[in-house]
Amino acid sequence: MRDPTDLTVTIVDGYVDEPAHFGVPPYISTYPRYTAGALVDAGVPEQQIVYHTIDSLRDERSRWRDVADADLLAYTGGMTVPGKYVGGTPAEPDEVRELAWTADGTTLLGGPVRFGVGEENAGAQDMARDDLDYDFVAMADVEAAAYDLVNSGLEGFENRYRDYDEVARWARQGAFVVEQHPNHPDYLIAELETSRGCAYRCSFCTEPMYGDPGFREAREVVDEVDALSNHGVAHFRIGRQADILAFGGDGEAPNPDALRRLYEGIRDVAPDLRTLHLDNMNPVTIVDYPKRSREGIEIIGEHNTPGDTAAFGLESADPVVQEENNLLVTAEECLEAVRVVNEAAGWRPGEDRLDAPTYGADAARRLPKLLPGINLVHGLAGERAETFEHNRAFLDSVLDEGLLLRRVNIRQVMAFEGTEMAETGAALAREHKTQFKRYKRAVREEVDNQMLERVAPPGTVLPDVHLEYHEGGKTFGRQLGTYALLVAVPGERKLGKAVDIAVVDWGYRSVTGVPYPLDLNAASMDELRAIPGIGKDRAANLVVGRPHETVPQVDGTALNRFARV
């Protein structure tokens, strides 16, 4: 490598989706940010570092010149859990190869792609490492590899993990690349890392490959938020950890004081933030340390923004599957953890606690602060026909108790080298695929619909829904945040804008809403008809009666909760 001050670098973000890390737009993961910071720390000037997402390269082929001409191409990406995405499309293996073939300079590849690739990002697959034709493949941390290559030359390359002293520098120094993201600043949410690794060894998960958990200091995460905020970011997710409750502790026991320092610190440096959400919370922590866990959850609920989700890795409610895959909690223990989150942080702004009159005509107008989400994985060792019955019985018990779940994530396993599932592969998942599809459809129709109505009753207001695409005469959009609700709005509205929405109806995994407050003198027939109790005839009468000076009383409806004049 030449003098670092003379180097030009292009970072390409192919997107990541890991058990404890997300980076598909509107998210930006830590990988490109930390890699940029490592390069700056090694002496490369900021203005000589170019960042592109794979989608931006698809949209404008002229940007490939930055790939071809750079002295160093650093590619980050890889998916280790299956998913379907709206905001971006992860790089395909052929595209990753094309980047390497296009680049004239040195090429470096890293991120979860090192665990393996498959034909598509879907479940029921055996994933294997593939030859992607890069000069260097970082089998540990790509940001550390980038630093070493620039700082020490080609002979300095080694597969090593970065330490948190390095992260403390690189997280701040690399924050500038967010300004090169096509979604910046309004529709971009930064993933934050508080720890990495896991104290437990579930058979299918890649997170234990990072080793036992190591934790950042709260002030270092706060400094990263401060830097990102200075570059225009207003949306944050504390998603890069196996268990938020373990932050600042020994890897298992909660440390409420550390959580308070983290959340209060973020609020202090970014007082105007618009989203503060999290991702993973281990239900076994709540079971083993109920008092400290409840205190930590209450702290989170005080400082986060509404609509937050704590993803629970139940994985399977079948005791046979739990035993064979080293899963951590029984169905009853997970149910108790669901109760605790509902009680400690399931309240809505403007209410004191969850037992306030939330679900009737006087429903509160915001989503609950924090609710659990359930992860269920199929195709694990020991799975049988009864497994599907156990899982359904667990979900029914949540419904029967009147508890709330923000979402239920059902997927089939991806078997990666280095995990215990590599021994059995995804054969069971493929064998049970037909039953899996029937069961998943039944959950969507019979559980999700009821749960959505509880979580977002009529009139619930969702601020800043970003309108993303048109389909079937409707406009679809989402808020920024963890597992944000997909919202359908009648009519084809201008895309790229953000509007406040009031919920009027529910699908299996989405809601229908109308702009809030709805201008009674300008609303379309479709918008008026969508309001509960209005219908076609009353909507026509409201249109004929324009202009309205006040919102009329319409029997059997709550028109005044949705409309203004």
Q: What is the pLDDT of residues 241-277, one digit of tens each?
A: 989 999 998 777 899 999 999 999 999 999 999 999 9
Class of 1-187 per CATH?
alpha beta
Q: Do domains 1-187 and 461-564 have the same CATH topology?
A: no
CA distances from residue 186 to 30, 448, 452 in whole angstroms, order as listed: 19, 30, 27
Under a CB-based contact definition with an 8 Å cutoff, are residues 96 and 14 in contact?
yes
- Residue with tokens 């409840």, as numbered in its chain: 294
The pLDDT, as a whole number, for residue 205 is: 61
- Residue with tokens 């009529």, as numbered in its chain: 458
The pLDDT, as a whole number, for residue 393 is: 97
* pTM for the predicted model, two decimal places: 0.91
d(CA 264, CA 26): 25
CA angle 272, 278, 279 (to 5 degrees): 155
Residues of the chain under the 50 pLDDT cut: 122-127, 353-364
- Residue with tokens 């008026």, as numbered in its chain: 528
Torsion of CA 162, 166, 169, 173, to 10 degrees: -30
The pLDDT, as a whole number, for residue 507 is: 85
Domain 461-564 CATH superfamily: Nucleic acid-binding proteins (2.40.50.140)
The pLDDT, as a whole number, for residue 209 is: 65
Domain range summary for the chain, segments of one domain joined by +: 1-187, 197-206+271-457, 461-564
The pLDDT, as a whole number, for residue 407 is: 93
The pLDDT, as a whole number, for residue 257 is: 97
Relative to beta strand 474-478, strand 498-506 is: unpaired
